[in-house]
Protein backbone atom coordinates (compact mmCIF):
# COMPACT_ATOMS: atom_id res chain seq x y z
CA UNK A 1 0.00 0.00 0.00
CA UNK A 2 1.55 3.33 -1.06
CA UNK A 3 1.15 6.38 1.06
CA UNK A 4 0.38 9.72 -0.55
CA UNK A 5 -0.57 12.94 1.13
CA UNK A 6 0.61 15.90 3.14
CA UNK A 7 3.32 15.67 5.74
CA UNK A 8 4.19 18.50 8.10
CA UNK A 9 7.87 19.14 8.70
CA UNK A 10 8.97 22.05 10.90
CA UNK A 11 5.49 23.57 10.69
CA UNK A 12 5.54 23.48 6.88
CA UNK A 13 3.03 21.29 5.18
CA UNK A 14 4.40 19.56 2.06
CA UNK A 15 2.88 17.14 -0.41
CA UNK A 16 4.72 13.79 -0.44
CA UNK A 17 4.31 10.36 -2.00
CA UNK A 18 6.00 7.02 -1.58
CA UNK A 19 8.11 5.44 -4.30
CA UNK A 20 9.97 2.15 -4.53
CA UNK A 21 13.46 2.14 -5.99
CA UNK A 22 15.64 -0.96 -5.83
CA UNK A 23 15.03 -2.35 -2.36
CA UNK A 24 14.25 1.06 -0.86
CA UNK A 25 10.84 2.52 -0.15
CA UNK A 26 11.01 6.29 0.19
CA UNK A 27 8.86 9.31 0.75
CA UNK A 28 9.61 12.02 -1.85
CA UNK A 29 8.23 15.46 -2.71
CA UNK A 30 5.53 15.46 -5.36
CA UNK A 31 5.28 17.82 -8.31
CA UNK A 32 7.73 19.00 -10.94
CA UNK A 33 11.37 17.98 -10.47
CA UNK A 34 13.10 21.25 -9.60
CA UNK A 35 15.84 22.42 -7.26
CA UNK A 36 13.10 23.85 -5.05
CA UNK A 37 11.79 20.39 -4.14
CA UNK A 38 12.35 20.00 -0.40
CA UNK A 39 12.96 16.25 -0.61
CA UNK A 40 14.53 16.17 -4.04
CA UNK A 41 14.00 12.93 -5.93
CA UNK A 42 14.80 12.44 -9.60
CA UNK A 43 13.60 9.07 -10.95
CA UNK A 44 15.96 9.41 -13.95
CA UNK A 45 18.86 9.16 -11.50
CA UNK A 46 17.78 5.67 -10.42
CA UNK A 47 20.33 4.33 -12.91
CA UNK A 48 23.06 6.51 -11.38
CA UNK A 49 22.21 5.08 -7.95
CA UNK A 50 22.07 1.50 -9.27
CA UNK A 51 25.55 1.92 -10.78
CA UNK A 52 26.75 3.23 -7.41
CA UNK A 53 25.52 0.02 -5.76
CA UNK A 54 27.29 -2.06 -8.43
CA UNK A 55 30.44 -0.04 -7.90
CA UNK A 56 30.44 -0.43 -4.11
CA UNK A 57 29.73 -4.16 -4.40
CA UNK A 58 32.83 -4.39 -6.63
CA UNK A 59 35.39 -2.57 -4.45
CA UNK A 60 37.75 -4.94 -2.59
CA UNK A 61 37.07 -3.43 0.87
CA UNK A 62 34.74 -5.43 3.14
CA UNK A 63 33.99 -2.45 5.41
CA UNK A 64 32.90 0.92 4.06
CA UNK A 65 32.37 4.29 5.66
CA UNK A 66 30.14 6.16 3.23
CA UNK A 67 29.62 9.93 3.19
CA UNK A 68 26.59 11.42 1.40
CA UNK A 69 26.98 15.20 1.81
CA UNK A 70 23.94 15.90 -0.42
CA UNK A 71 21.62 13.07 0.52
CA UNK A 72 18.21 14.66 -0.35
CA UNK A 73 15.56 11.94 0.38
CA UNK A 74 18.25 9.48 1.48
CA UNK A 75 17.30 7.01 -1.27
CA UNK A 76 20.93 6.46 -2.31
CA UNK A 77 22.09 5.78 1.24
CA UNK A 78 19.12 3.55 2.05
CA UNK A 79 19.86 1.50 -1.06
CA UNK A 80 23.53 1.32 -0.04
CA UNK A 81 22.53 0.08 3.43
CA UNK A 82 20.17 -2.52 1.98
CA UNK A 83 21.92 -3.59 -1.23
CA UNK A 84 25.68 -3.37 -0.63
CA UNK A 85 26.85 -6.75 0.65
CA UNK A 86 29.47 -5.41 3.06
CA UNK A 87 29.69 -3.93 6.53
CA UNK A 88 28.58 -0.37 5.81
CA UNK A 89 28.19 2.79 7.85
CA UNK A 90 26.38 5.61 6.01
CA UNK A 91 26.64 9.26 7.05
CA UNK A 92 23.70 11.16 5.52
CA UNK A 93 23.77 14.95 5.28
CA UNK A 94 21.79 17.66 3.55
CA UNK A 95 21.66 21.40 4.09
CA UNK A 96 17.86 21.31 3.82
CA UNK A 97 16.37 20.71 7.26
CA UNK A 98 13.22 19.28 5.71
CA UNK A 99 15.32 16.83 3.66
CA UNK A 100 17.03 15.56 6.82
CA UNK A 101 13.65 15.05 8.52
CA UNK A 102 12.53 13.09 5.48
CA UNK A 103 15.75 11.03 5.51
CA UNK A 104 15.01 10.01 9.13
CA UNK A 105 11.41 9.23 8.21
CA UNK A 106 12.61 7.17 5.23
CA UNK A 107 15.12 5.23 7.33
CA UNK A 108 12.25 4.26 9.67
CA UNK A 109 10.04 3.36 6.71
CA UNK A 110 12.78 0.91 5.67
CA UNK A 111 13.07 -0.49 9.20
CA UNK A 112 16.68 0.68 9.50
CA UNK A 113 17.70 1.58 13.01
CA UNK A 114 21.51 1.34 13.04
CA UNK A 115 24.52 1.82 10.78
CA UNK A 116 23.93 5.48 9.96
CA UNK A 117 24.00 9.10 11.13
CA UNK A 118 21.99 12.03 9.76
CA UNK A 119 23.18 15.64 9.86
CA UNK A 120 21.96 18.99 8.63
CA UNK A 121 25.03 20.97 7.58
CA UNK A 122 26.53 22.63 4.56
CA UNK A 123 28.23 19.85 2.55
CA UNK A 124 31.75 21.26 2.91
CA UNK A 125 31.37 21.72 6.67
CA UNK A 126 30.00 18.18 6.94
CA UNK A 127 32.98 16.76 5.03
CA UNK A 128 35.71 18.83 6.69
CA UNK A 129 34.27 18.12 10.15
CA UNK A 130 34.45 14.37 9.55
CA UNK A 131 37.28 11.87 10.09
CA UNK A 132 37.14 10.83 6.43
CA UNK A 133 35.27 8.34 4.28
CA UNK A 134 36.20 5.24 2.34
CA UNK A 135 33.50 6.29 -0.16
CA UNK A 136 32.27 9.84 -0.71
CA UNK A 137 29.48 10.67 -3.14
CA UNK A 138 29.26 14.19 -4.55
CA UNK A 139 25.85 14.52 -6.18
CA UNK A 140 24.89 18.19 -6.45
CA UNK A 141 22.58 20.22 -8.66
CA UNK A 142 24.87 21.33 -11.52
CA UNK A 143 28.60 21.59 -11.03
CA UNK A 144 30.45 19.67 -8.30
CA UNK A 145 33.28 22.26 -8.35
CA UNK A 146 32.47 24.06 -5.05
CA UNK A 147 32.58 20.73 -3.16
CA UNK A 148 35.73 19.20 -4.63
CA UNK A 149 38.24 20.74 -2.24
CA UNK A 150 36.57 19.31 0.89
CA UNK A 151 35.78 16.03 -0.88
CA UNK A 152 39.33 15.23 -1.97
CA UNK A 153 40.60 16.12 1.51
CA UNK A 154 38.21 13.73 3.22
CA UNK A 155 38.32 10.77 0.86
CA UNK A 156 40.52 8.27 2.68
CA UNK A 157 43.97 7.24 1.42
CA UNK A 158 42.74 4.07 -0.27
CA UNK A 159 39.19 5.36 -0.68
CA UNK A 160 36.85 6.10 -3.57
CA UNK A 161 35.14 9.27 -4.72
CA UNK A 162 32.00 9.36 -6.87
CA UNK A 163 31.29 12.65 -8.65
CA UNK A 164 28.20 13.63 -10.65
CA UNK A 165 28.08 16.75 -12.85
CA UNK A 166 24.77 17.75 -14.39
CA UNK A 167 26.12 20.96 -15.94
CA UNK A 168 26.71 19.26 -19.27
CA UNK A 169 26.07 22.44 -21.30
CA UNK A 170 29.27 24.21 -20.13
CA UNK A 171 31.33 20.99 -20.20
CA UNK A 172 30.18 20.05 -23.70
CA UNK A 173 30.85 23.48 -25.15
CA UNK A 174 27.53 25.34 -25.18
CA UNK A 175 28.86 27.78 -22.57
CA UNK A 176 32.66 27.81 -22.96
CA UNK A 177 33.16 30.74 -20.55
CA UNK A 178 31.31 28.89 -17.78
CA UNK A 179 33.47 25.84 -18.49
CA UNK A 180 36.63 27.93 -18.24
CA UNK A 181 35.49 29.45 -14.93
CA UNK A 182 34.37 26.17 -13.35
CA UNK A 183 36.73 23.66 -14.90
CA UNK A 184 39.72 25.73 -16.11
CA UNK A 185 39.51 24.21 -19.58
CA UNK A 186 38.12 25.00 -23.03
CA UNK A 187 35.43 22.64 -24.34
CA UNK A 188 34.60 22.12 -28.02
CA UNK A 189 31.16 21.45 -29.44
CA UNK A 190 31.58 18.53 -31.81
CA UNK A 191 30.45 14.94 -32.26
CA UNK A 192 32.51 13.68 -29.30
CA UNK A 193 31.79 16.68 -27.03
CA UNK A 194 30.46 14.50 -24.21
CA UNK A 195 33.67 12.51 -24.08
CA UNK A 196 35.52 15.84 -23.97
CA UNK A 197 33.23 17.09 -21.18
CA UNK A 198 33.84 13.95 -19.12
CA UNK A 199 37.61 14.25 -19.60
CA UNK A 200 37.55 17.94 -18.60
CA UNK A 201 35.65 17.05 -15.41
CA UNK A 202 38.17 14.30 -14.56
CA UNK A 203 41.14 16.64 -14.94
CA UNK A 204 39.54 19.25 -12.66
CA UNK A 205 39.03 16.70 -9.87
CA UNK A 206 42.61 15.46 -10.31
CA UNK A 207 44.02 19.01 -10.16
CA UNK A 208 42.23 19.73 -6.89
CA UNK A 209 43.37 16.40 -5.44
CA UNK A 210 46.99 16.90 -6.50
CA UNK A 211 47.18 19.97 -4.23
CA UNK A 212 46.83 17.53 -1.33
CA UNK A 213 49.32 15.01 -2.80
CA UNK A 214 46.45 12.72 -3.72
CA UNK A 215 46.19 10.82 -6.99
CA UNK A 216 42.62 10.30 -8.17
CA UNK A 217 42.49 7.75 -10.92
CA UNK A 218 39.19 7.17 -12.76
CA UNK A 219 38.06 3.55 -12.53
CA UNK A 220 34.58 3.92 -13.99
CA UNK A 221 33.28 6.94 -15.92
CA UNK A 222 30.28 7.60 -18.11
CA UNK A 223 27.89 10.05 -19.70
CA UNK A 224 24.15 9.36 -19.69
CA UNK A 225 20.80 11.16 -19.39
CA UNK A 226 22.45 14.60 -19.45
CA UNK A 227 24.92 14.01 -16.65
CA UNK A 228 28.54 12.94 -16.22
CA UNK A 229 29.58 10.47 -13.56
CA UNK A 230 33.07 9.42 -12.50
CA UNK A 231 34.25 7.04 -9.79
CA UNK A 232 37.84 7.67 -8.74
CA UNK A 233 40.23 5.50 -6.72
CA UNK A 234 42.28 7.64 -4.35
CA UNK A 235 45.92 7.18 -3.45
CA UNK A 236 48.02 9.39 -1.21
CA UNK A 237 51.17 9.62 -3.30
CA UNK A 238 53.07 12.58 -4.72
CA UNK A 239 54.60 10.52 -7.52
CA UNK A 240 51.25 8.96 -8.47
CA UNK A 241 49.69 12.45 -8.55
CA UNK A 242 52.58 13.65 -10.76
CA UNK A 243 51.99 10.66 -13.03
CA UNK A 244 48.34 11.60 -13.52
CA UNK A 245 49.15 15.24 -14.28
CA UNK A 246 51.43 14.06 -17.10
CA UNK A 247 48.34 12.63 -18.77
CA UNK A 248 46.62 16.00 -19.08
CA UNK A 249 46.59 17.50 -22.56
CA UNK A 250 44.57 18.56 -25.58
CA UNK A 251 42.24 16.79 -27.98
CA UNK A 252 41.04 17.74 -31.46
CA UNK A 253 39.17 16.05 -34.28
CA UNK A 254 39.56 17.30 -37.83
CA UNK A 255 36.19 18.25 -39.28
CA UNK A 256 37.46 17.80 -42.83
CA UNK A 257 39.11 14.34 -42.64
CA UNK A 258 38.17 13.10 -39.10
CA UNK A 259 41.79 12.58 -38.00
CA UNK A 260 42.16 12.72 -34.18
CA UNK A 261 45.02 14.58 -32.46
CA UNK A 262 45.89 14.42 -28.79
CA UNK A 263 49.02 15.52 -26.98
CA UNK A 264 50.20 17.51 -23.99
CA UNK A 265 50.29 20.70 -26.09
CA UNK A 266 47.59 21.89 -28.52
CA UNK A 267 49.73 21.10 -31.54
CA UNK A 268 49.85 20.86 -34.51
CA UNK A 269 47.54 23.77 -35.28
CA UNK A 270 46.65 22.31 -38.68
CA UNK A 271 45.66 18.80 -39.68
CA UNK A 272 47.67 16.78 -42.22
CA UNK A 273 44.84 17.59 -44.65
CA UNK A 274 45.41 21.34 -44.15
CA UNK A 275 42.26 22.10 -42.11
CA UNK A 276 42.54 24.21 -38.94
CA UNK A 277 42.22 22.19 -35.73
CA UNK A 278 40.05 23.27 -32.82
CA UNK A 279 41.44 21.79 -29.59
CA UNK A 280 39.56 21.11 -26.37
CA UNK A 281 41.52 21.08 -23.14
CA UNK A 282 43.45 20.73 -21.06
CA UNK A 283 41.71 17.48 -20.25
CA UNK A 284 42.38 13.91 -19.07
CA UNK A 285 43.94 11.83 -21.86
CA UNK A 286 44.28 8.66 -19.80
CA UNK A 287 41.94 5.70 -19.38
CA UNK A 288 38.31 6.30 -18.47
CA UNK A 289 37.94 2.81 -17.00
CA UNK A 290 39.86 0.09 -15.23
CA UNK A 291 38.82 -2.92 -17.33
CA UNK A 292 39.21 -5.47 -14.52
CA UNK A 293 37.02 -3.29 -12.29
CA UNK A 294 34.37 -3.05 -15.02
CA UNK A 295 34.50 -6.84 -15.35
CA UNK A 296 33.76 -7.19 -11.62
CA UNK A 297 30.89 -4.70 -11.89
CA UNK A 298 29.49 -6.60 -14.85
CA UNK A 299 29.27 -9.74 -12.70
CA UNK A 300 26.96 -7.88 -10.28
CA UNK A 301 24.88 -6.23 -13.05
CA UNK A 302 21.15 -6.89 -13.43
CA UNK A 303 18.81 -6.57 -16.42
CA UNK A 304 18.74 -2.75 -16.06
CA UNK A 305 22.48 -2.24 -16.05
CA UNK A 306 23.94 -5.24 -17.94
CA UNK A 307 23.71 -3.84 -21.49
CA UNK A 308 25.28 -0.54 -20.50
CA UNK A 309 28.04 -2.25 -18.52
CA UNK A 310 28.75 -4.65 -21.40
CA UNK A 311 29.17 -1.74 -23.83
CA UNK A 312 31.54 0.00 -21.43
CA UNK A 313 33.45 -3.25 -20.86
CA UNK A 314 34.09 -3.58 -24.64
CA UNK A 315 34.89 0.12 -24.88
CA UNK A 316 37.37 -0.08 -22.02
CA UNK A 317 39.30 -2.79 -23.88
CA UNK A 318 39.55 -0.56 -26.96
CA UNK A 319 40.61 2.43 -24.84
CA UNK A 320 40.25 5.02 -27.62
CA UNK A 321 40.24 8.82 -27.48
CA UNK A 322 37.72 10.91 -29.43
CA UNK A 323 35.04 8.51 -30.68
CA UNK A 324 33.54 8.74 -34.18
CA UNK A 325 29.90 8.98 -35.20
CA UNK A 326 28.30 7.35 -38.22
CA UNK A 327 26.79 10.74 -39.11
CA UNK A 328 30.18 12.48 -39.30
CA UNK A 329 31.73 9.55 -41.17
CA UNK A 330 28.90 9.70 -43.70
CA UNK A 331 29.21 13.48 -44.05
CA UNK A 332 33.00 13.58 -44.45
CA UNK A 333 33.16 10.62 -46.83
CA UNK A 334 30.03 11.88 -48.65
CA UNK A 335 28.38 8.48 -48.35
CA UNK A 336 24.93 8.12 -49.90
CA UNK A 337 24.02 5.68 -47.13
CA UNK A 338 25.38 5.48 -43.58
CA UNK A 339 27.22 2.26 -42.72
CA UNK A 340 25.64 -0.09 -40.17
CA UNK A 341 27.49 0.27 -36.88
CA UNK A 342 28.17 -3.43 -36.27
CA UNK A 343 29.27 -3.89 -39.91
CA UNK A 344 31.72 -1.00 -39.63
CA UNK A 345 33.12 -2.40 -36.38
CA UNK A 346 33.51 -5.82 -38.02
CA UNK A 347 35.38 -4.28 -40.97
CA UNK A 348 37.61 -2.25 -38.66
CA UNK A 349 38.45 -5.29 -36.54
CA UNK A 350 39.21 -7.32 -39.67
CA UNK A 351 41.51 -4.54 -40.87
CA UNK A 352 43.41 -4.79 -37.57
CA UNK A 353 41.94 -1.80 -35.71
CA UNK A 354 40.58 -2.07 -32.19
CA UNK A 355 36.99 -0.86 -32.38
CA UNK A 356 33.76 -1.17 -30.41
CA UNK A 357 30.43 0.59 -29.88
CA UNK A 358 30.60 3.41 -27.33
CA UNK A 359 28.18 4.18 -24.52
CA UNK A 360 28.55 7.90 -25.36
CA UNK A 361 26.26 7.72 -28.38
CA UNK A 362 24.04 5.11 -30.05
CA UNK A 363 25.65 6.06 -33.38
CA UNK A 364 29.16 6.22 -31.92
CA UNK A 365 32.15 4.00 -32.62
CA UNK A 366 35.29 3.95 -30.46
CA UNK A 367 38.36 3.29 -32.61
CA UNK A 368 41.94 3.12 -31.34
CA UNK A 369 44.38 5.15 -33.43
CA UNK A 370 43.56 6.96 -36.65
CA UNK A 371 41.81 4.52 -38.98
CA UNK A 372 41.83 4.74 -42.76
CA UNK A 373 38.05 4.78 -43.14
CA UNK A 374 37.86 5.58 -46.85
CA UNK A 375 39.20 2.26 -48.18
CA UNK A 376 36.91 0.39 -45.77
CA UNK A 377 33.75 2.21 -46.77
CA UNK A 378 34.09 3.33 -50.38
Binding site for ligand SAM (CB under 6 A): 40-41, 45, 49, 69-73, 75-76, 94-96, 99, 122-123, 139-141
| 164 vs 196 by CB, closer to ligand SAM | 164
Nearest C-alpha neighbor of 137 from the set 232, 42, 46? 232
Whichever of 141 and 308 has its CB closer to ligand SAM, that residue is 141
Q: Which is nearer to ligand SAM, 150 or 358 (CB)?
A: 150
Please report how close the Cβ of residue 97 comes to ligand SAM at its closest, in angstroms: 10
Q: Are 209 and 236 in contact (CB under 8 A)?
A: no
How far apart are CB 67 and ligand SAM at their closest, in Å?
11
> What is the smallest separation between the CB atom of 155 and ligand SAM, expressed in angstroms?
17
Distance CA 42, CA 47 (A): 10
Residue closer to ligand SAM, measured from CB, 88 or 99: 99
Q: How many CB atoms lie within 10 A of CB 162?
A: 25
The dihedral built from the CA positions of residue 236, 242, 247 and 248, taken in this order, carries a sign that is positive
Which bin fits 74, alpha (ψ -120 to 50), beta or left (φ > 0)? left
**Closest approach of ligand SAM to the CB of residue 70, in Å:** 3
Least distance to ligand SAM, CB of residue 284, Å: 24
Nearest to residue 91, comparing CAs of 102, 80, 101? Answer: 80
CB of 172 to ligand SAM, least distance (A): 19
Nearer residue to ligand SAM within complex by CB, 71 or 288: 71
d(CA 283, CA 363): 24
Nearer to ligand SAM, 80 or 277 (CB): 80
Q: In terms of DSSP H, where are the helices of the chain?
A: 46-58, 75-83, 97-109, 123-128, 145-154, 168-171, 176-183, 193-210, 238-245, 291-300, 306-318, 326-332, 341-350, 373-377
Amino acid sequence: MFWQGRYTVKGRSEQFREVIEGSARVLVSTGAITKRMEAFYNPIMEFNRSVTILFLNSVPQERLIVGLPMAATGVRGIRILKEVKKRVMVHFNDKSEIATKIIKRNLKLNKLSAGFTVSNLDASIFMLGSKGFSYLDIDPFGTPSPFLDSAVRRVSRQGYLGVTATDTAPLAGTYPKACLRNYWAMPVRNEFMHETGLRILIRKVQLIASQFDKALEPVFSYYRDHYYRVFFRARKSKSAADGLLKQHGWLAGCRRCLRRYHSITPAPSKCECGAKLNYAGPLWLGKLWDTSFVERMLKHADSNTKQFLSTIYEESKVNAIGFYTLGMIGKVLKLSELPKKHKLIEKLNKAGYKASPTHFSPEGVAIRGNPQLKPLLL
